[in-house]
Amino acid sequence: MRQIVLDTETTGLLPGADHRIIEIAAIELVNRQPTGHDFWHYLDPGRPIDPGATAVHGLRNEDLVGKPGFAEIADALLDFVDGSQLIIHNAPFDLAFLNHELERVRARVTVIESLCSVLDTLPLARRRYPGQNNSLEALCQRFGVDASSRRYHGARLDASLLAEVYRAMTKGQAALGFGTDVAGLPEDGRQTASMAGTPRPSARVGVDPADWTQHRAFLKRIDEQSGGRLVWRADLETGSA
**Which position among 89, 100, 153, 215 bears the catalytic label?**
153
Please state, in angstroms and rounded to a whole number, the distance separating the CA atoms of residues 76 and 112. 13
Residue 153 a catalytic site member: yes
Please state, in angstroms and rounded to a whole number, the distance separating the CA atoms of residues 134 and 124. 9
| 85-88 and 117-120 strand pairing | parallel
Question: Edge to edge, what strands does the sheet with 21-30 contain?
Answer: 33-42, 21-30, 2-10, 85-88, 117-120, 190-191
Which stretches does DSSP call E strand in the chain? 2-10, 21-30, 33-42, 85-88, 117-120, 190-191
* Side-chain-side CA neighbours of residue 147 (13 Å): 26
Whole-Å CA distances, 138 to 12, 125, 130: 23, 10, 13
Which residues are catalytic, by number?
153
